[in-house]
Amino acid sequence: MRLEQLQAFLSVAETGSFQQAARKCGVTQSTISRQVQGLEAEVGLSLFHRAGSAKLTVGGERLLPHARKICQTWRNAAVELGDLLAGKQPELCVAAIHSVCAAYLPPVLQRFCRDYPEVQLRVTALGSDRALKVLKDGLVDIAVVMNNRYFTQAPEMLVEVLYNEPIEVLMAANHPLAVYDRVPWPELICYPQVVFKDGYGMQRMVQEQFERIGAKLHAVLELNTLDAFRGVVRQGELIALLPHSALIEAQGDRTLAIRPIVAKQSANPKVSTILFEGFANGQSAIDPAWTREVVLVTTHDRMQIPPIAHFWNLVREFVPPLDVIKLGKLGN
């Protein structure tokens, strides 16, 4: 059963004539007759009495309300799809990591709301892995996250690298590590740490880095907001490894200190063995410019929708600011 067959059936039923139905549809009478005959063959019943005017049979009377409902549903769907292509979608949902939401998205959001005032913009701060999962499940349209190729390598995904930023150490201003201009790894691994909760890409990234050097990560607390990180770290000896964009608000706080990390062989031979064992010529397992890659992600089909494509281009235009670009280049 095809849509054009039902449309031909409805036209004949409404006009009472094959000839008038053909005129209404802008096709030949033979075309209308062929569509109705094909429908009758499929349902196994005659739908019209063909003596004089085209009058519905019992089978035609039963089919009529269903045909109307099906055709109306199709018209509604066609209108909605047309509106979608015209940019008339009711909302646009974005998932982004906390640091991007706080530091870099505000000008993007303001510009989008000005350009598409009729579209309800919904932004949710999530960990990278969770954000990519809800994107894959169709719950959001765009994600701005730390790259996780387990999710982003799927063929339907469209991924663009925005920037690379260094990972730095957040600590209390009076912390023992604050005496360093750049914190050596052998010293850093001696202190307990605050990490992001499970499902956040930074937790996985920190764990992988410690595993890579054969050191034990002493994670004593899991949090999921940047305010909480700052509040806990300023109280004592706990430290946190966080990306540059997550530390912007901490830069002017005199109770906190931020230090870059350097891979440097320790004078302590035991620590040096942990960090550098198995690497020829004293080469470290640690990249002295440890960075994370932040990406913009959606699916190829969503880029056909004007508001989504517009938001994508705004993110490319405004994110990242110049300071992160410079830091990223220093870290590569």
- pLDDT tens digit sequence for 101-137: 988 999 999 999 999 999 999 999 998 989 999 999 9
Give the best-scoring range by mean pLDDT among 148-152, 264-268, 292-296.
292-296
Which residue type sits at 182? R
Tokens of 268: 């302590």
Using the predicted structure, report yes or no on whether residue 81 has a pLDDT greater than 60.
Answer: yes
Looking at residue 326, its pLDDT comes to: 60
Using the predicted structure, report yes or no on whether residue 78 has a pLDDT greater than 60.
Answer: yes
User: Mean pLDDT, to the nearest integer, of 19-32?
Assistant: 90
Q: Kindly report the average pLDDT of the chain as a whole number.
A: 86
Q: What is the DSSP letter of 303?
A: G
Q: Are 316 and 145 in contact (CB under 8 A)?
A: no
| Closest to 319 measured CA to CA, from 36, 38, 94, 83 | 94
User: Distance between the two ends of the chain, CA-based, in angstroms?
Assistant: 61
| Bond into 320 cis (ω within 30) | yes
User: Mean pLDDT, to the nearest integer, of 264-273?
Assistant: 44
Report all structural domains of the chain as residue ranges with CATH numbers, in order of start. 3-85 (1.10.10.10), 91-163+293-323 (3.40.190.10), 164-291 (3.40.190.290)
Q: Is 87 left (phi over 0), alpha (psi -120 to 50) or beta?
A: left
Looking at residue 222, its pLDDT comes to: 94
Looking at residue 289, its pLDDT comes to: 65
User: Mean pLDDT, to the nearest integer, of 38-42?
Assistant: 91
Q: Are 142 and 135 in contact (CB under 8 A)?
A: yes
Using the predicted structure, report yes or no on whether residue 263 has a pLDDT greater than 70.
Answer: no
| pTM > 0.85 | no
Using the predicted structure, report yes or no on whether residue 42 has a pLDDT greater than 60.
Answer: yes
User: Mean pLDDT, to the nearest integer, of 87-112?
Assistant: 90
Using the predicted structure, report yes or no on whether residue 20 has a pLDDT greater than 60.
Answer: yes
Using the predicted structure, report yes or no on whether residue 172 has a pLDDT greater than 90.
Answer: yes
Neighbours of 8 (CB within 10 A): 26
Using the predicted structure, report yes or no on whether residue 259 has a pLDDT greater than 70.
Answer: yes
Distances (CA, A) of 88 to 54, 120, 123, 173, 260: 42, 11, 19, 51, 46
Using the predicted structure, report yes or no on whether residue 149 has a pLDDT greater than 70.
Answer: yes
pLDDT-derived band at 227, boundaries 50, 70, 90: very high
C-alpha span between 130 and 85 (Å, rounded): 28
